[in-house]
Structure 1
Amino acid sequence: MFRFEEPAYLYLLLLLPLSILFYLFSNYIRKNRIKKIGDPELIGLLMPDVSNYRPEIKSGLILICISLFSFLLARPQFGSKLENIKRKGVEIMIAVDISNSMLATDLQPSRIEKAKRLVARLVDKLENDKVGMIVFAGDAFTQLPITSDYISAKMFLESINPSLINKQGTAIGAAINLASRSFTPQEGVGKAIIIITDGENHEGGVTNAVKEAVDKGIQVHVLGVGSANGAPIPQDGTNDFRRDSEGNVIVTRLNEEMCKEIAKAGNGVYVRVDNTNSAEKTINDEIAKMAKIDINSKIYTEFDEQFQAIAWIILFLLFTEMMILDKKNVFFKKIRLFSK
């Protein structure tokens, strides 16, 4: 794995074309001055030891050094290996409801965007823990297998939207079953499932799914997204709202009672998500209470600095530039005369 620790210094490469233009302009000025003195060919005969191409070589070496210097400052690094490390932490599976009802705007900017921002903040608070993500509507599937790579977690989070699942509904039971199977087999580590949903259109099978999770030592927490008063569901591509078969606007409401029942059966907590950070704080407190043991994680280690090699190349080129004289090499000139 290759990276630059300070990539901003690569902008120094913009000096390269400016340096080339400056050299060409200086060369143009020099030739014009020579023409004012006399005929360039005649002047060249009067200075037989002056080389025509060596100054260009010296300038080329300086330009190469400027380029390499920007790479040196950017600190190129190589990740030499993927290493297994042990860190004390817990395992968390986050299941996000992406049914159409999550498009409602009773929470700004929408239920699903509010949920995504909440998850992003939860991930930012994790330390040495593992996290995975599941999305569900009428069905459930794994968006991100459990991992300690928080950058990937946030990247996958951004791609979550209702179009990922065509089958509509709120299959919370399927999501819990899938989450329960997604943890590592490591024993003793605290494990929890965080369900983020508005609880609408309950598909059934939740009771058994929660019981099986608890039997495996997994807690089930629920974050309720939405309001009791409810809100209509925007229709994509229009300024209208979704309607039922009779033409009435569909109003989606948070099923808070069901969310509380799931959390209670799962030995977890229920929190309604609002415009404060109370839900985030409550879940963070629950995570802090979980049993933390050494868990295995795979990360790239030993990002070796490579700037030393570039520095040696720059020094060599600068030394070479100093050794190249503007005059022709007298030694080689004598050899040519001797050979004649």
Structure 2
Amino acid sequence: MAAVDLIEFWRGGLRESVHRGHAVVWDRGGMVAAWGNPGAVIFPRSSCKMIQALPLLESGAADAAGLGTRQLALACASHSGARMHAQGVRDWLHGLGMAEGDLRCGTHMPWDAAENRRLTCSDEAPCQFHNNCSGKHAGFLTWNRHHKGDVEYHLPEHPLQQAIRAATEEVTGENVAGTGIDGCSAPNFAVSIAGLARAMAGFASPAGDGRGRAMRRLTDAMAMHPELVAGEGRACTDLMRAMGGRVAVKTGAEAVFVAIAPERGLGIALKVTDGGTRGSEAAITALLVHHGLLDANHPAVGKYLTGPIRNWRGTEVAERRLAEGFAGF
């Protein structure tokens, strides 16, 4: 089965471009709805950080280190590198007797405008705390310290990454289809869209065992601290705020998006095949509205889906549309 049209862009009465992809909705009973190919294999990229954080909690490392909800949210984050993000990770590691040099995520300029401007104007270089994945790596380091592991915790053969691989296979219900290296140098394990949606449904309806408690803690932390999961002006933060902490959502590079809706027991996963973030943000917004998780009249829906597209003078020049047959609209 091929990818299907999800989101269209229209200008001057003509369809100018289209984002195609796959999407799956899963609940306690199995697959609820699907568009495109549910079996399409993808790299979930950062959308699976909740899965990557499971060994941190299940091993007892999080509790041994006294991690709170803010640290757990950062462990699941693709943050903007704002001062609160970088300082949060810095304080976390310093509290464990570790430093920036222990990280293996690499360095890039922060996406946060204020922090980017501060660094640029002061001629100060960014550090690894600014990396959008530094919270995930702080979680890795916390696990590694607890288990006295080798310092190169990011390598695929490291026991931590093997534990993450095992957790990935268990929550998706399928064997990992391949291993890639993410932008932050950690392994990323390929799974199907359906498997990823099934995993998110597991987070939405967790069992009462140790894994279930870990899933609930991570989901609650994300919903409690949306500003830490992404940042101001970012879709994850905007959408979680719009839903009042009832749903956790998480983006991944190359236009992957997931959602966890505990009240409904729903897990959602989608991939836009061209890698365009604007397409994945619009598609997840459409699915959240369709399933009654997000008010169609909320300003966030206008920002990411229904609102007009304006040019630099503020003139309305184009619009987004749902492709025919997508999300039941």
Q: TM-score range by the shorter chain?
A: under 0.3
Q: Which has the larger radius of gyration?
A: 1
TM-score (normalised: structure 2) = 0.22
